[in-house]
Amino acid sequence: MTDELLTPEGLEAALRAIGAERYHIHHPFHRLLHDGRLTRPQVQAWALNRYYYQASIPAKDATLMARLPTAEERREWRRRIEDHDGDGSKPGGIERWLKLAEGVGLDRDLVIGTGAILPETRFAVDAYVHFVRDRSLLEAVASSLTELFSPTIIAERVSGMLSHYDWITPDTLAYFTPRLTQAPQDSDWALAYVKRHADTVEKQQAVLAALRFKCDVLWCQLDGLYYAYVAPGLIPPGAFVPEASA
Amino acid sequence: MTDELLTPEGLEAALRAIGAERYHIHHPFHRLLHDGRLTRPQVQAWALNRYYYQASIPAKDATLMARLPTAEERREWRRRIEDHDGDGSKPGGIERWLKLAEGVGLDRDLVIGTGAILPETRFAVDAYVHFVRDRSLLEAVASSLTELFSPTIIAERVSGMLSHYDWITPDTLAYFTPRLTQAPQDSDWALAYVKRHADTVEKQQAVLAALRFKCDVLWCQLDGLYYAYVAPGLIPPGAFVPEASA
C-alpha cells in the first residue's frame, strides 16, 4: 500500500483487491457449504449463528443513518433498514432468514433467542455495530462495501446448496433472491459516496482499513463455525449442540 | 440454574462452578501449550495475540474505576492499573509481557503495533472493554472474577513451559510470578464486592452471566489461535505469519 493519493478509480481498484484477497468466499467453511460437504447439523449451526448478524444489521444501519446530514441520504440508507425489517406486510430479510433457519430444521425461538450462538459470532457482529457507531461516517459507509462482493457468494451458495443438499428447497433459500438486486443497489451508492468523500490520503487509507475490518468480521464468523462444528469440532460451553442425526 | 435467591456462599459456589466448566484451562490450545506440544512459532503466535489482551486491561480498569464512588474503592482498583502499567521504575505487567514476547523470539515493535493479531483476539478483547464500559458496575466487577481461577492456570503454564521447551527460561516467564500474588488479592476483593452487592435474584443472575461472558472472552482467543496456528492452520489475511523455523 503506497501513501499516494489515489484517483477515485484507483481507490475502487484497491477496494476490490481487498475483496479478492479477504472476502469470506475464500474461507474453507464457505467452500464446504457450497460444495455440499456439510452435514445438516453443520448447516443448522451456520444458519443459527448467521441470524445474529442478520438481526444486528438494522441496528448498525440505524446508528449510521442517525449521522447522515440530509433527508436524501437518510432515505437512501433507510431503504436498507426496510429491506431487513420489512414493512409489516411483506417479510424483510430477518424474517426470511428465520424461514431459512426453520427450513433447515431449527426451532424458531432458539434462533430468535440468540443464546446458543458462538462467542466468535457475538464478538464479531458486536464489533461491527460498535465500529459503525464509533468511527467516522466515511469509515462507517466504507465498512458496508463487502456488498460489492456479495452477489458472487450468494450465487455460489444458492446453486451449490440446491444441487448438493436434497433437504434444501428453493423456498428455504428465498432469503437470497431479493439480496441479488438489493446489494448492488446499496453498494453502488456506498461506493460512489466513498469515491467522492475520500479525498485525502488519510481518508483513503481509513476507507481501505474499514473494508479490511469488515472482511475480518465476516471471516471470523466462519472461523468460529469451522472450529466448533468442523475441526477440531470443539463446541464452546453454552453454544448450540446439534441433536444426533443421520 | 434456579431462579431462587442464593446465599453469598451459594453465589460463590455458582461462580466457581462456571469456572470449573468454562475457564480456558480446559481449552485444547492451553493443553498443547503446557504439555510442550506447540512449536516455537505457535508459542510466538500466542504471545503476540495475548499482548493485545494485556495491553487493553488498564483501559478496561480505568473505565471501571471512573464509576467507583469512593476513594477507597478507587484506590483498590487503581492498584490493578499500577500492576499493569508499572510506576516508571519497576516494570508493570505490560512491559513484562513484552519481555516474554521478546524471549520467545518476537520483534518488540511488531508486538506493540498489534497489527498482526487475529480478528478473534481483537473482537474478543474489545468486547470485554465495551462490556465493562456499558454494563452495570456490579457486572463489570463480576467480569473480573476469572482471576479466581488464574493461579491454577499460571502454575500449569509456567511449570509445563519450563519443563517442555528448552528455549524458554524462567526469566522469560517472569511476567507470571507477581500475578500469583496480585490475582488472588484482586479477586478476593472483587468476590467480596459481588457477594455483598448481588442481593437480588436479578443481580445474581447478571453476575453469573458476566462471568460466563468473560470466560467466553478468554476461550474465544484460544479458539482463534487453534484455528489459525494448529488446525486447520489457516491464518487469516493480514495476521502474523511465523518465519519458517525448525
pLDDT tens digits for range B106-165: 999 999 999 999 999 999 999 999 999 999 999 999 999 999 999 889 988 888 999 999
C-alpha cell at A120: 466468535
Residue B132 carries which side chain, given as an amino acid letter?
Answer: V
* CATH number reported for the structural domain that contains residue A142 in this entry: 1.20.910.10
Confidence of residue B246 (pLDDT cuts 50, 70, 90): very low
What is the count of structural domains for chain B?
1
Residue A159 domain-assigned? yes
C-alpha cell at B212: 460466563
Q: Which chain B residues are Cβ-neighbours of A238 within 8 angstroms?
A: 22, 212, 216
pLDDT at A2: 58
pLDDT at A160 over 50: yes
pLDDT at A245: 47
Winning range, highest mean pLDDT, from A102-111, A230-239, B171-180: A102-111
pLDDT at B245: 47
Residue B244 domain-assigned? no
Confidence of residue B183 (pLDDT cuts 50, 70, 90): confident
Q: Do A227 and B223 touch (CB under 8 A)?
A: yes
Residues A55, A62 contacting (CB under 8 angstroms) = no
B214 touches A: beta carbon within 8 Å: no
- Nearest CB partner across the interface for A231, out of B123, B223, B231: B231
Residue B240 domain-assigned? no
The predicted model gives A199-228 an average pLDDT of 96
Give per-residue pLDDT as tens, A15-53. 999 999 999 999 999 999 999 999 999 999 999 999 999
Residues B121, B53 contacting (CB under 8 angstroms) = yes
Residue A240 domain-assigned? no
Q: Do B119 and A22 touch (CB under 8 A)?
A: no
Determine the structural domain holding residue B121 and report its residue range.
Answer: 8-229
Distances from the Cα of B129 to the Cαs of A122, A241, B34, B46, in angstroms?
14, 29, 28, 20
Q: Which chain A residues are Cβ-neighbours of B239 within 8 angstroms?
A: none
Please provide the average confidence, as pLDDT, over all residues in chain B: 93
User: Strand (E) positions, B15-73?
Assistant: none
Residue A3 domain-assigned? no
Residue B32 carries which side chain, given as an amino acid letter?
Answer: L
B119 touches A: beta carbon within 8 Å: yes
Residue B9: exposure state from Cβ atoms within 10 A (0-12, 13-18, ≥19): exposed
Residue count (chain A): 246
- Nearest CB partner across the interface for A123, out of B212, B220, B236: B220
- Nearest CB partner across the interface for A22, out of B130, B224, B237: B237
Q: What is the pTM assigned to this prediction?
A: 0.84
The predicted model gives B188-202 an average pLDDT of 97
Q: Which chain B residues are Cβ-neighbours of A231 within 8 angstroms?
A: 231-232
B126 touches A: beta carbon within 8 Å: yes
Residue A130 domain-assigned? yes
Residue B243 domain-assigned? no
Residue A243 domain-assigned? no
B4 touches A: beta carbon within 8 Å: no
B19 to chain A: closest CA residue: A237
Residue A243: exposure state from Cβ atoms within 10 A (0-12, 13-18, ≥19): exposed
**Dist. CA B226–CA B26, nearest whole Å:** 13
Task: Give backbone dihedrals phi and psi of B166, rounded to 5 degrees, phi first.
Answer: -75, -10
Q: Which chain B residues are Cβ-neighbours of A122 within 8 angstroms?
A: 127, 216
- Nearest CB partner across the interface for B28, out of A120, A228, A232: A232
> How close A74 comes to chain B (CA, Å)?
28
Q: Vertex B64, ends B143 and A133: CA angle to 5°?
A: 90
